[in-house]
């Protein structure tokens, strides 16, 4: 559990190379991606160029 340097190891999912290779991310990152995604159809419907 402890390392020789006297610090706790970083166990966050995004810090693991094996998880990155499998495409696994943490829930916080996934939520942020969903909130930042702009649906092109909704954007087109909002525009005045119909």
What is the per-residue pLDDT across 3-50, written as a single tens digit (0 to 9) for each? 677 777 778 888 888 888 998 888 888 898 888 888 888 888 888 765
Q: What pLDDT does 3 receive? A: 61
**What domain range is 31 assigned to?**
1-50
| Contacts for 13 with CB less than 8 Å, ≥ 6 apart | 19, 24, 25, 26
Please tell me the distance from the alpha carbon of residue 42 to that of residue 2, in angstroms, as a whole number: 50
How many distinct structural domains can be found in the chain?
1
pLDDT at 33: 87
């Amino acid at each position: 559990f402890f390392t020789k340097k006297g610090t706790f190891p970083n166990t966050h999912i995004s810090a693991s190379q094996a998880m990155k290779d499998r495409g696994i991310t943490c829930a916080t990152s996934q939520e942020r991606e969903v909130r930042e995604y702009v649906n092109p159809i909704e954007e087109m419907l909002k525009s005045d160029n119909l």
